[in-house]
């Protein structure tokens, strides 16, 4: 998951059809509320533009990705970046607010395709945030690196150098995830856990 907040946050309005201000309309993005922190962080890499609408988005930042797609961070109370600046994912861009046409303080996060103003893309697919009203927690930094975990799996005999190459390709999206690999990994994990449990009992 790529989150615009650190720590816990809540999805308050999903992407899709809804009734708002007395009429039915398609909500093109996600409405999110930061719980632990109201600082808004970039979810992609790209140049930014600082904009303002009296109605609609209020104070907002538009970030243009390398492929031309645009991410909108709307209803901000404060903006920490300047137009033309290159901002990377994880850098702070502003503070959640209630500017523009809103019913309360939140962040409207939206993804649009290159060169098209009125259409939108699935921001949930891009970020991995579930399109459902609920509370979530942004990923925190792991205590152990990927290499540490791989090394431990090899030491335990759960994976080998040979099949690790296949895992690398699948995890990076360069090869299709195969069910037999998942079954094998789970089976070996269960066998190892069972063996360790038996050794502990004796």
The 10 Å Cβ neighbour count of residue 107 is 26
- The single-letter DSSP state of residue 97 is B
Both tokens of 176, joined, read: 């299709």
3-class SS of residue 142: coil
Both tokens of 153, joined, read: 């799996």
The residues spanned by each domain of the chain are 8-137, 146-201
CA distance 76 to 34: 12
Both tokens of 111, joined, read: 């993804």
What per-residue string of b and e applies to 162-176 under the rule 16 or more CB within 10 Å gives b? eeeeebeeeeeeeee
State pTM to two decimals.
Answer: 0.69
CA distance 195 to 187: 12
Helix H or strand E segment including 183: helix 179-201
CA distance 99 to 102: 7
Helix H or strand E segment including 147: helix 146-155
Residue 19 bridge partners (DSSP):
24
Q: What is the pLDDT along the chain (202 residues), one digit of tens a residue?
A: 899 999 899 999 999 998 877 889 999 999 999 999 999 999 999 999 999 998 899 999 999 999 999 999 999 999 999 999 999 999 999 999 999 999 899 999 999 999 877 899 999 999 999 999 999 988 644 445 556 666 777 777 777 777 777 766 666 566 676 777 777 777 877 787 777 777 766 6
CATH topology of domain 8-137: Glucose Permease (Domain IIA) (2.70.70)
């Amino acid at each position: 998951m790529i989150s615009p907040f650190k720590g816990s946050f809540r999805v308050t309005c999903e992407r899709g059809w809804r009734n708002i201000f007395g009429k039915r309309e398609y909500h093109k993005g996600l409405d999110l509320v930061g719980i632990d922190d109201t600082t808004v962080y970039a979810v992609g890499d790209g140049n930014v533009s600082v904009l303002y609408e009296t109605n609609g988005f209020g104070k907002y930042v538009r970030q243009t990705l390398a492929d031309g797609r645009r991410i909108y961070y709307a209803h901000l109370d404060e903006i920490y970046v300047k137009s033309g600046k290159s901002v990377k994912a994880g850098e702070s861009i502003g503070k959640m607010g209630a500017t523009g046409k809103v019913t309360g303080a939140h962040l409207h996060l939206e993804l649009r395709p290159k060169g098209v103003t009125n259409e939108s893309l699935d921001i949930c697919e891009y970020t991995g945030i579930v399109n459902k009203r609920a509370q979530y927690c942004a990923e925190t930094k792991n205590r152990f690196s990927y290499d540490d975990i791989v090394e431990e799996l090899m030491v335990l005999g759960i994976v080998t150098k040979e099949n690790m190459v296949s895992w690398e390709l699948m995890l990076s999206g360069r090869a299709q995830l195969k069910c037999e690999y998942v079954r094998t990994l789970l089976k070996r994990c269960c066998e190892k856990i069972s063996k360790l449990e038996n050794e502990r009992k004796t």
